[in-house]
Amino acid sequence: MLLVLFAIRREQEELAKRVTFIVTLIPLLIAVFLFINYDRSDSGHQFEENMMWIKAFNIHYHVGIDGLSVTLVLLTALLGPICVLASWKIEKGIKAYLALFLLLETGMIGFFCALDMFLFYVFFELTLLPMYFLIGVWGGPRREYAAIKFFLYTLFGSVLMLIAMIAVYLKGDTFDIPTLIELAKTPGHALAERTFQIWAFLGFFIGFAVKVPIFPFHTWLPDAHVEAPTAISVILAGILLKMGTYGLVRVNFAMLPEGMDFFCNGEGRWGNSLAILGFINIVYGSLCALAQTDFKKLVAYSSIGHMGFVLIGLAARNESGLTGAILQMFNHGVISAMLFLLVGVVYDRAHHREINGFGGLGSKMPIYTGITTLAFMASLGLPGLSGFVGEALSLLGAYSKFKVLTILSTAGIVIGAAYFLWTLQRVFLGELNPKYEAITEINGREIATLVPLGILTIVLGIWPSIAIDMFREAVSILPLVQ
């Protein structure tokens, strides 16, 4: 697909955009096929492929999906064409932009399907390269700083992950993820040893924590989001953050249960660590969002807050918490994609993102206001929309393990409501800011990017089983602690 793009000459930009859009529809079609044909009652891996790759280290090209992966693959496949549509207005170097984007999508889907640790790591890193260029070349005024910060920060995390990975390989003698998961459960095996698992857990945790992002490794996110072009912010918040949480479930939870236990069992000095970090993410992220005047930065910080819910649900390690966490992953992907697209709409027209610089836009852009209200309500967790279900389940699961922290975390929901409603009021309600007398309403292309996401938000809010069914079985074989 990349090669097709090379074949199109630089001048034929329209053609490049159309071809890429069609090309991104292919994974979407495959994803829909998967959605229909996926066996919901099977807890193992389906659609598997396993070929020998590098014999010396027993590395295989092993890919497959299970409940957790298929959810995220669906999300990635859905956001692909949407982001291409959102990138329609990019001017210079659109061919390179789209080529890099396709490479990014390859990396992301590969990451979710990978069942061999080496392949897992390769895809994890593979996404960094296009992101660096996409932010650094097509971004805003401070794009170089944001791009390098993003790259180095994330690479630092993955470097720690690499060391932990090599250590796990040395103990387990294989890179195959399902095999490693089995070995880690076998009592007496070197991999199952608690101390080793704790250190390996830490290594992997920091690697994924940078990506999620978890306080205090979150400082790259606001810069990267603000400087990235709209479509890239969508992918960043929608998928890349989920790579971190997916890793946490797949590796830290499934493969290193003793290590996870040490940090989540509520006992000892470190027993509350993950829950505390989740709590900090929720409350600190929301408080920071409350203080923002840049629209995009506000959404970025709210992302940090929402990821806190995933983390606290994960820390609970029970069925409710895990279900909530995974559902929140998917829902947040959809909702934050909507939010960033919406910010892009107004930025394209006004060329700034100052919340206080707008006012009364509702009178000129009613459709846009309506969609934004939907997205805001979903994000703050209004029951009936998808955001509520994920958050509620996570908190429900976490309550049985970490009562106080959970109660305190609900403050995050209130703060979330505060900043979203306040933003709604500042931007859309009240007196029309005379500067925007001539502002144009949201156009067809933009609506096309938002409508699928909006429909998903509403449907999953009323009928979340559609999504939960996909990963219910996969969750049940995880090392849950009731």
Partner 1 sequence: MLPGRNVELYGGLLAVDGFGLFFKVFFLAIGIGIIAIALEYGKARLQHRGEFYGLLLFSILGMNLMAMSRELLTAYIALELLSFSLYVLVAYGLREARSNEAGIKYIIIGALSSAVMLYGLSNIYAALGTTYFSGIAAALSSPATDNPVLWVGLALLIVGLGFKLSAVPFHMWAPDAYEGAPLPVTAYLAIGSKAAAFALTLRLLAEAVAPAGDRWADWQLVIAVLSAVTMLVGNLVALAQSNLKRLMAYSSIGHVGYTLAGIAVLGDDFALAAKAVIFYLVVYAITNLIVFAGLASYYNSTGKDNIADLAGLADRQPFTAAVLAIGLFSLAGLPIFAGFTAKFYLFAAVADGGFLWLAGVAIFSSLVSLYYYLQVLRQIYIEPAAPESGTEGDAAAEHGGGHHDAEPEQDSLPVPMLPRPSITLSATMGVGVLAVIWLGIYPAPLLAVIEFASSAILPMG
Q: Tell me the residue type at 264.
A: C
* DSSP-H helix ranges across 48-191: 67-86, 94-113, 117-126, 128-138, 143-172, 177-185
Told to check if 47 binds partner 1 by CB under 8 A, we report no
Stretch that binds partner 1, among 13-21, 51-59, 194-202, 463-471 (CB under 8 A): 51-59
The CA-based dihedral angle spanning residues 174, 118, 151, 91, taken in that order and rounded to the nearest 10 degrees: -160
Contact residue for partner 1 among 13, 48, 125, 182 (CB under 8 A): 125
Rounded distance between C-alpha atoms, residue 136 and residue 345, angstroms: 21
Q: Is 55 in the site for partner 1 (CB under 8 A)?
A: yes
Asked if residue 146 lies in contact with residue 139, where contact means CB atoms within 8 angstroms, the answer is: yes
Which of 3, 7, 36, 56 is the binder for partner 1 (CB under 8 A)?
56
Is the Cα dihedral 287, 368, 235, 43 positive or negative? positive
Determine which helix (DSSP H) or strand (DSSP E) holds 49, and give its type and residue range: strand 46-54
Considering only 21, 111, 112, 133, the residue that binds partner 1 (CB under 8 A) is 133
* Site size for partner 1 (CB under 8 A): 33
Which residues face 50 on adjacent strands?
A: 62
Here the tokens at position 425 are: 């009021």
Smallest separation, CB 80 to partner 1 (Å):
20
Report the site for partner 1 in 296-355 (rule: CB under 8 A).
Answer: none
DSSP string, 364-382: T-HHHHHHHHHHHHHHHT-
Among 25, 28, 90, 148, binds partner 1 (CB under 8 A): 148
Closest separation in Å from C-beta 186 to partner 1: 22
Residue in 67, 80, 81, 136 binding partner 1, rule: CB under 8 A = 136
**Would you count residue 151 as binding partner 1 (CB under 8 A)?**
yes
C-alpha to C-alpha distance for 327 and 386, rounded to whole angstroms: 9
If one asks whether residue 201 binds partner 1 (CB under 8 A), the answer comes out as no
Given a contact cutoff of 8 angstroms between Cβ atoms, the answer to whether 395 and 403 are in contact is no
Rounded CA gap, 137 and 232, in Å? 12
User: Of 132, 128, 129, 127, which Cα lies nearest the Cα of 144?
Assistant: 132
Which one of 128-136, 237-245, 267-275, 450-458 is the stretch in contact with partner 1 (CB under 8 A)?
128-136
Can residue 51 be called a binding residue for partner 1 (CB under 8 A)?
no
Regarding 143 and contact with partner 1 (CB under 8 A), the answer is: yes
The answer to the question of residue 141 lying near partner 1 (CB under 8 A) is: yes
Please, what is the minimum distance in Å from the beta carbon of residue 136 to partner 1? Answer: 5
Which residues sit at the interface with partner 1, rule CB under 8 A?
53-57, 118, 121-123, 125-126, 128-129, 132-133, 136-137, 141, 143-144, 147-148, 151-152, 155-156, 159, 162-163, 166-167, 169-170
